[in-house]
Chains A and B, each alone.
Chain A
Amino acid sequence: MIKAILIFNNHGKPRLSKFYEHYSEDTEQQIIRETFHLVSKRDENVCNFLEGGMLIGGSENKLIYRHYATLYFVFCVDSSESGLGILDLIQVFVETLDKCFENVCELDLIFHVDKVHNILAEMVMGGMVLETNMNEIITQVDAQNKMEKSEAGIAGAPARAVSAVKNMNLPEMPRNINIGDISIKVPNLPSFK
């Protein structure tokens, strides 16, 4: 089971936190800090696994993480999950974000926390994996966006028109373009808050 999913930047600022077990708000913040300290002091090129911090259950749980540009994606899981499987899952998550936001960067996560939560909810539910197929996930997210836009009424019309035009000449949505070694592009900004 996945106990928690945390995203924070190189300075430890949380960008997303999702706990699948109940902790008090204070503990959640402490777990984020503790996890950041554990993960951030590790070199690049070491392995992606380490024992969980004391607060989240110590050696019973494993932290499995990936570091993309300015962001750490950390999954805290118990022993019933496959380590490499979770690494793949993180990759799928990031690739999905990349598709949904078109070259996702930290700012997208900051300004669209609700969307990120929605995308995550299509993949993981109650700590278990719901779907691993990226296209399926994107289809669901797309459907939600369409509903959102239709509800936006007149205000949403131009955007819909634009996207209709954009899609017109494409017989098929291109898939698997430019993912692989994904790197989140970071705008040249001062340190993130």
Chain B
Amino acid sequence: MPAVSKGDGMRGLAVFISDIRNCKSKEAEIKRINKELANIRSKFKGDKALDGYSKKKYVCKLLFIFLLGHDIDFGHMEAVNLLSSNKYTEKQIGYLFISVLVNSNSELIRLINNAIKNDLSSRNPTFMCLALHCIANVGSREMAEAFAGEIPRILVAGDTMDSVKQSAALCLLRLYKASPDLVLMGEWTSRVVHLLNDQHMGVVTAAISLITCLSSKNPDEFKTCVSLAVSRLSRIVSSASTDLQDYTYYFVPAPWLSCKLLRLLQCYPPPEDGAVKGRLVECLETILNKAQEPPKSKKVQHSNAKNAILFEAISLIIHYDSEPNLLVRACNQLGQFLQHRETNLRYLALESMCTLASSEFSHEAVKTHIETVINALKTERDVSVRQRAADLLYAMCDRSNAKQIVAEMLSYLETADYSIREEMVLKVAILAEKYAVDYSWYVDTILNLIRIAGDYVSEEVWYRVIQIVINRDDVQGYAAKTVFEALQAPACHENMVKVGGYILGEFGNLIAGDPRSSPLVQFNLLHSKFHLCSVPTRALLLSAYIKFINLFPETKATIQEVLRSDSQIRNSDVELQQRAVEYLKLSSIASTDVLATVLEEMPPFPERESSILAKLKKKKGPGAVSVELEDGKERGELNGGGDRGGDAAIAASNASTPSPSADLLGLRSTAPASGATPSAGSLLVDVFSEAGPSATSAGVNDDGFLRFVCKNNGVLFENQLLQIGIKSEYRQNLGRMYLFYGNKTSVQFVSFNTTVSCPGELFRSTKTVEPLVEGGAQVQQVINIECLTDFIDAPLLNIKFRYGGALQNISLKLPVTINKFFQPTEMAAADFFQRWKQLSQPQQEAQKIFKASHGMDTEVLKAKLLGLGTALLENVDPNPENYVCAGVIQTKAQQVGCLLRLEPNAQAQMYRLTLRSSKDTVSQRVCDLLAEQF
């Protein structure tokens, strides 16, 4: 007898479904559905009370409509009413509707909870199961509050029916997952663990899920489950295929439960008790032995079930990683599966081997399968399997086989599925770097990568190759030569042009001796790609050109010609135009010495964790990358964004040697170069070494704010979605601040809106930004600031936007501080002391004694004091350890002269800071700000 006879059921429902199925078009279907919805609505609203059957019929129709993808916004109340019916059919359909359609509508939940409470206390097992199902399906906090105390009691009560126990166990698990704080196991723990011994296999099946979850959260409290699980497993494994009757599945005794038991054991280290451990090892051996026995059935279900247990046993062996004998057997077994005709087994074997490869006992054993795995990568028809093969190659790679594996992965890339190319590229890049013995191989590999799969090479990858080339002088000549050759290809990828532009700009001189790659040939080659490139690449090329002028004076005329052409100097893109103009001027005004200083070779990058690894980790989720990583350092930018390459490069040389050319570049218009030095330098320091405060929580950024007291540029804020960079310049009592909002996601931000609120002492004008920020794009906002009189509170920046529907709201303090309006004042020692004495009234002085929170390095201190904006006066203080500074704060209302003295005490690691100025509030404020900086 079929359990569901087809004749009965609801005729009205069948007719409706048939109607829908006969609809010829989507429009007709929607029309029919709307008609039905109207009908049901009127029936529900009508005066006549509906009988249970009709309610059930209509609710069923609503369910069907919902399945077709239409919103259902009514009927909930009727469903709740059905819950309190005494008829099973009505109650059941009510619960079904609620479990499919209700999530956590709080008003209804209260009514639903009432019905559930009645059913739980009904002692009717069917009703109890329905109620427990409903709790497990909705699992809201209100439900946990109402029932978390009741359900453990049902679970362990002696007179509870088995089917109810099963439901209660999983219901409790659901509540625990949703609201762990509300589910207090305490007194129930041991009785729950003992459910592993229950007579009824169904109860054990359900309970083991609960126990596994609880054990993984509180391993100590549930430790006793290990020995119980081992003995249960042992009984199953050693049973004959008929012992367990209905739980034998295609001649395999209780496969599901065996798998779950083996999973539970993976929450714990190997058992310490020798007897338990012996029994477990015996089980594992039996399972491995059974794999070699002839199958009891030819049905695929039989081998499936058997292998399900086998794979879990292997996982456990790998998890323990302590029994060399078992590990070898596991590895051999997986090796067999690698060549099995069942695709599923090949897939799972590759997956398991990935974890095995990280075990020190079996890494070598895994490596013996390299040919098979490479073959799988090349010949498998199924992309899922090829992907696992690539994962495994990555996991088994070490110094001995890196060249082979990288070569195979590269050749696979040429035909790889689009869906996995980006990941493959990252993996190749990481392996190439990690196992590079000679860096020429590394450079070859990455350039090949760009040639083969340029579109999938992310910025991190090509930034990284440049970082490495710059830091290793033994490879620079080779890199220049190789990149020069790669650029000869008639069509080469834009990423190749970027790398080429950068490397030739820095190291083109190393290959210029060869007439085939003379400076002009190099330049013409680069310039032949110029017109095909996007704006950021062109900007980078322009920077390369100015470096060429420095490296090869003979190219000056040609390059100036190019820069002077209308397509550069009148380019509609502001960035390109500005670069063309500035570089042209720089090349014509500056002397060769100056030029050489400005365009000095890039200093080496600080050694740090590869940003590519971080990217792969982000892509694959934690755990997928086996190498330990520091968190957060995801932005391995070379230049604070490739498009600003030239500026940063030049800023870097400014930092090392202040030169009059700083003016030309308009980086800082206040005259003294000393003021510009630390700030320009710290732009680099900030971008390179700190990578900004990554993933700062929203809220007001006191921390970020203070970092900008002594510098003007850097990353003000960064979280998962948004990065805000800042560049600012000040002259007298005026300031201009550029904010760069970078969308780090691939999704656009909508309703992007920023507001700046200033204290009364400041005046500001702001241009509004466009309300749309595309994924990956950066928008700029300019804020003009005028200091009317001295002030304490910083302006507040509030940013609002929608990302994927969710409103984001970020408030930041803008780093505008009173010291930004300092004008440095040089003066002789006598002058200084005279003025110091003049400012001798107590309120004119502010003093702080504080502990050093950073190192007391002289150069760093000097840089910070210069960054403050004052002039650092040498040979003034009789004690050479001390620092004195002087400056005038320019506000619209008045000028405030300000003198500073900083006395470090290296032994005590303390400072004494004294400020004197003609205005008490200024002394206090500057003192407070500066005290946070050391």
Residues of A within 8 A of B (CB): 14-18, 20, 22, 25, 29, 32, 42-43, 45-51, 58-60, 80, 82-85, 87-89, 91-92, 99-102, 108, 110-115, 117-118, 121, 125-136, 138, 140-145, 147-149, 151-152, 156, 159, 163, 166-167, 180-181, 192-193
Contacts and interface: CB of A to CB of B under 8 A. Distances in A.
A133 B263 contact: no
B246 A25 contact: no
A185 B833 CA distance: 103
Contact of A111 (B9, B87, B103): B9
B256 A29 contact: no
A17 B126 contact: no
21 contacts: A14-B67, A14-B69, A29-B69, A45-B343, A50-B384, A59-B621, A88-B305, A89-B256, A102-B2, A110-B17, A111-B9, A111-B13, A112-B4, A125-B137, A126-B137, A131-B166, A131-B205, A133-B247, A138-B3, A149-B8, A192-B21
Interface string B301-324: 100110110011000000000000
Contacts of A156: 8
Contacts of B870: none
A111 B202 contact: no
A47 B346 contact: yes
What are the nearest 5 A-B pairs in CB distance?
A: A126-B136, A102-B2, A84-B308, A126-B174, A46-B382
Contacts of A149: 8
A125 B4 contact: no
Contact of B348 (A84, A118, A136): A84
A1 B201 CA distance: 20
Contacts of A132: 205, 247, 249, 256-257
A130 B205 contact: yes
Interface stretch (B88-96, B287-295, B926-934): B88-96
Contact of A114 (B60, B167, B202): B60
Contact of B202 (A14, A22, A127, A133): A133
A103 to B, nearest CB: 9
A125 B308 contact: no
Contacts of A129: 205-206, 209, 256
Given A16-B67, A25-B71, A133-B247, A46 B173 contact: no
A59 B1 CA distance: 43
B818 to A, nearest CB: 49
Interface residues of B, number: 81
B301 A88 contact: yes
B4 A115 contact: yes
B531 interface: no
A162 to B, nearest CB: 9
B504 interface: no
Nearest to B303: A84
A85 B382 contact: no
B519 interface: no
B879 interface: no
Given A50-B384, A126-B139, A121 B133 contact: yes
B301 A49 contact: no
A108 B136 CA distance: 27
B147 to A, nearest CB: 13
A101 B2 contact: yes
Highest count of chain A CB atoms <10 Å: which of B246, B343, B346, B624: B246
A92 B257 CA distance: 14
A166 B174 CA distance: 41
B381 interface: yes
B695 interface: no
Contacts of B89: 147-148, 151-152
A56 to B, nearest CB: 14
A22 B371 CA distance: 44
B103 A22 contact: yes
B560 to A, nearest CB: 50
Contacts, number: 204
B202 A84 contact: no
A167 B93 CA distance: 28
Nearest to B310: A84
Given A59-B620, A80-B263, A131-B166, A152 B8 contact: yes
Given A46-B381, A132-B256, A88 B249 contact: yes
Contact of B93 (A48, A83, A114): A114
Contacts of A110: 17, 21
A118 B137 CA distance: 13
Given A126-B171, A128-B170, 19 more contacts: A14-B67, A18-B100, A47-B385, A50-B384, A51-B384, A59-B620, A101-B2, A110-B21, A113-B67, A117-B100, A125-B136, A130-B205, A132-B247, A132-B256, A133-B247, A141-B3, A148-B89, A152-B89, A181-B299
Given A46-B384, A47-B346, A159-B7, A131 B312 contact: no
Contacts of A166: 1
B63 interface: yes
Contacts of B209: 128-129
Contacts of A108: 4, 6
B259 interface: yes
Q: What's the dominant secondary structure at chain A's contact region?
A: helix
Contacts of A136: 202, 246
B29 interface: yes
A45 to B, nearest CB: 7
Given A125-B136, A126-B173, A100 B263 contact: no
Contacts of B2: 99-102
B170 A88 contact: no
A135 B247 CA distance: 9
A49 B246 contact: no
B664 interface: no
Contacts of B489: none
A85 B206 CA distance: 15
Contacts of A181: 299
Contact of A88 (B64, B256, B348): B256
B438 to A, nearest CB: 34
Contacts of B29: 193
A133 B9 contact: no
A83 B88 contact: no
B67 A143 contact: no
B347 A180 contact: no
B20 interface: yes
Contact of A128 (B5, B206, B307): B206
Interface in B368-398: 381-382, 384-385, 387
Contacts of B23: 193
A14 B13 CA distance: 18
Nearest to B419: A51
A187 B873 CA distance: 96
A167 B205 CA distance: 31
Interface in B624-655: 624
A8 B63 CA distance: 16
A4 B205 CA distance: 20
Nearest to A45: B343
B87 A113 contact: no
Contact of B255 (A51, A88, A125, A141): A88
A131 B67 contact: no
A167 B311 contact: no
Highest count of chain B CB atoms <10 Å: which of A45, A82, A113: A82
B256 A113 contact: no
B656 interface: no
A67 to B, nearest CB: 14
A58 B87 CA distance: 43
Contacts of B894: none
Contacts of B304: 84, 87-88, 91
A84 B306 CA distance: 9
A58 to B, nearest CB: 8
Contacts of A138: 3
B385 to A, nearest CB: 6
